[in-house]
Amino acid sequence: MRQPEPKILASSRHRRMPWKNGGGETVEVAVYPEGSDLAGFGWRVSMATVASDGPFSSFPDVDRTLAVLSGDGMELEIDGIGRQVLGPHGAPLAFPADAPTFARLTGGPITDLNVMTRRGLFAHTLERVSPGAGQRIATSHDWTLLLALADLAVVSGDTPFGLAPLDVLLVEGRCDLRVPLGQAPGDACLIGIDRIHA
């Protein structure tokens, strides 16, 4: 069966919805199965603006990875793990989404990226990348999502894709992505999601 072509998930079309605990608003970038609610997703990628200190929503049997996209940063107190500090230039942090977690802002509101997968069914990776001209981007996962943090052009086969900040390119299965010559390096987040086969 032929795999779907890569597609752009434009930031203007991301779905906005309240946090599970009612403490703010999240912007849903992608969810699987499509249209799933917060109790039924297999995996979910979202962004949120955190404007005040407070507890994180708990998601039973879910693993999450968090990255700060903008703002000064925040300090997390995670049950069983301890104190962790996240900033816009630091590595993403993976931790259980069902571990009680309290966030304290270190210098004003921040925007974060949140990747969550249902434990035992799906697994994920999240890394920051700065692809430059001629560079290839690996898409060896069941799903790959490339979140642009600046204007970014990529090519799949002969098809060009232009991403504006906070647009996402969604790729299902293996695909050859490359950055065209003449493209200045652009910061992005690269997310890989895989099914766990028994």
Distance CA(46)–CA(102), nearest Å, equals: 19
Tell me which fold the domain 123-195 belongs to.
Jelly Rolls (2.60.120)
Q: Is 185 helix (H, G, I), strand (E, B) or coil?
A: coil
Provide mean pLDDT across the span 129-136: 84
**Cα dihedral: 195, 114, 90, 162 (round 10):** 80
| Identical fold between 14-120 and 123-195 | yes
Instruction: Please state whether the peptide bond connecting residue 33 to the residue before it is cis, i.e. omega within 30 degrees of 0.
Output: yes
- 35-49, 66-80, 132-146, 177-191: least confidently modelled range: 177-191
Q: Kindly tell me if the per-residue pLDDT of 54 is higher than 60.
A: yes
**Polymer length of the chain:** 198
Question: pLDDT (tens digit, 9 = 90+) per residue, 87-117?
Answer: 998 899 999 999 999 999 999 889 999 999 9
3-state helix, strand, coil in the chain (%, to 5): 0, 50, 45
Distance CA(188)–CA(101), nearest Å, equals: 26
Q: Kindly tell me if the per-residue pLDDT of 13 is higher than 60.
A: yes
Terminal-to-terminal C-alpha distance of the chain: 22
- Give the start-to-end residue ranges of the domains of the chain: 14-120, 123-195
CATH architecture assigned to 14-120:
Sandwich (2.60)
- 14-23, 44-53, 66-75, 184-193: least confidently modelled range: 14-23
Residue 72, C-beta contacts closer than 8 angstroms, at least 6 positions apart: 87, 88, 105, 106, 107, 108, 110
Distance CA(111)–CA(35), nearest Å, equals: 24
